[in-house]
Structure 1
């Protein structure tokens, strides 16, 4: 089993702006507390992409968790986009499609993709704008998302829903652009084999880390130092130096980096029983769900 020495959580954002306030990076090494990684004035999605490319060149021994879905549902209806002839058959081709159709959008946005006459049919864009092929209720779910709900390990939302504070569609689609632009520089689990050395990316869900840290379901956001200390204590991790601001993006990243360090040694999480090769290549999997 590969052992990593450093661990990073990227709390991602799909906001339209160049430098969304929702992006936060935290890293933890073999010893000591987790620490926030800063960018001036704030992280942009391109900054994160370029930081990853630098890690790849330096062969950094790091496991990096991204809080986003790395593919759309496929297995529920046998296609990402039914009735669209250009619908791809594998996740990496999906990343390319999203990136190509959004090539004119700045900041790794996906406005052009979502406006495409075929793509737009599958998404709930607003209360008054719902694509004719959007499946009602919660929207379509990947196998791992269905499994999360059935086993009550998590309660993730559909990427086809772009409405509400809990929506993850825009962040996931912008993340797919970023993954395509990495061009294979960093392996991504479970789409790629685990490398013998260098960095690797996994999909994570910060709520899983929060639950492991003892936070109750539905109340997993921390916005003060005392709450952060209690969560890190539960993960047997020291408290970092005083933060300038205790927003939930920063605390999510710090807690999840600490959790990822602990979880990375759990063999069950690398080999979940329901993860087949077919699911791995088309839909991926959330690290931490077994």
Structure 2
């Protein structure tokens, strides 16, 4: 990737929680130089707000990192939902299926989809509801999540919807946004990276934290001092903000600056484990080689 391919770098800490406005959503952006900044400081974002910002207000040639899983496991069993006749053939079809069964859910939630009698068999949900086809333990993992584990990270299955570490709800609600953005903004690796224009990638903010010297298990930052130290470690100016800050804001600010430092790395755009089949069905987490 050419060093000057992108002019802006944005990271979005996402949330799959119930409700319209989500304090857990944070959006940050930086240019080729200078400190990262929060987009709309003080604003409590909705998922629809983020989708609207990406469609209508995103600066040109922005690399956008979304902190969610863009698809579900497929490769391990040759299907997202083995035994279900509606199981989709690729990620875009999965996004359409989630949208179809969640269309009546407000605020881009996905409760309708996970409640479907066939889909529910594959999820672990609240209230001790574990589908008979949910793999015990962490649950099924995508190829990129197995690569994360090999790199020393601690991934969980996107089919797990329970617990503080779960990412399943974020992933499913994010798929509804990706479905809406499909054809409007290139989404890697489901689309090829165009010569110009903005590109969305899946991120895992812990990767940025570790690159900045944060320790595994202590990746979260909750003070400006912690954030600025991490930014300095990756060569970024301090954020120029004051406490209090949330860990979500810190994640977004640091990851935006980190994207700027690695966007040109050709190896990250062509990870060894990402075959065309993996790219089309499961996607990949940017930053995992």
TM-score (norm 1): 0.96
Kept in 2, the 8 Å contact 1:127–1:163? The answer is no
* Range with bigger deviation, 197-206 or 123-132: 123-132
State the secondary structure of the residue aligned to 1:27: strand
Q: Give, in whole Å, the separation in 2 of the partners of 1:151 and 1:168.
A: 19
Equivalent residue, structure 2, for 1:5: 7
TM-score by length of 2: 0.96
Taking the TM superposition and a 5 Å limit, the aligned residue runs for 1:1-290 are: 1-2=1-2, 3-38=5-40, 41-55=43-57, 60-126=60-126, 128-152=128-152, 154-243=153-242, 245-290=244-289
Distance in 2 between residues matched to 1:195 and 1:81, nearest whole Å? 32
**Cα distance, 1:245 vs structure 2:** 2.5
How many residues end up aligned between the 2 structures? 287
Q: How far apart are the structure 2 equivalents of 1:189 and 1:146? A: 19
Post-superposition Cα deviations, 1:11-70, rounded to whole Å, max 9, x if no partner, equal: 0000011011100000010221000001674111001111111157x7x11000000000
SS at match of 2:10: strand
1:177 match: secondary structure: helix
Q: Distance in 2 between matches of 1:164 and 1:215?
A: 23
* 2:11–2:256 contact (8 Å) kept in structure 1: yes
Q: CA 1:49/1:39 → structure 2, altered by over 3 Å: closer, same or farther?
A: farther
3-state DSSP class of the match of 1:8? strand
Q: Distance in 1 between matches of 2:231 and 2:121?
A: 43
Shift of 1:239: 0.7
> Are the equivalent residues in 1 in contact too, given 2:63–2:201 (CA < 8 A)?
yes
1:244 Cα offset (Å): 5.2
> Per-residue CA shift, 1:204-255, capped at 9, x if unaligned?
1000000000000000011112111110010100012223521100000000
- Report SS of the residue matched to 1:256: helix
1:150, distance to aligned residue in structure 2 (A): 2.1
Moved more, 122-131 or 3-12: 122-131
Counterparts of 2:156 and 2:82 in 1: how far apart (Å)?
Answer: 20
> How far, CA to CA, are the matches of 1:44 and 1:63 in structure 2?
21
Contact map agreement 2:223 2:243 (CA 8 A) in 1: no
Of residues 250-259 and 122-131 in structure 1, the stretch that sits farther from structure 2 once superposed is 122-131
Distance in 1, matches of 2:43 and 2:54, equals: 19
SS at match of 2:186: coil
Q: Distance in 1 between matches of 2:9 and 2:168?
A: 25
- RMSD over aligned CA atoms reads 1.3
Q: Which runs of no fewer than 5 residues in structure 1 stay unpaired?
A: none
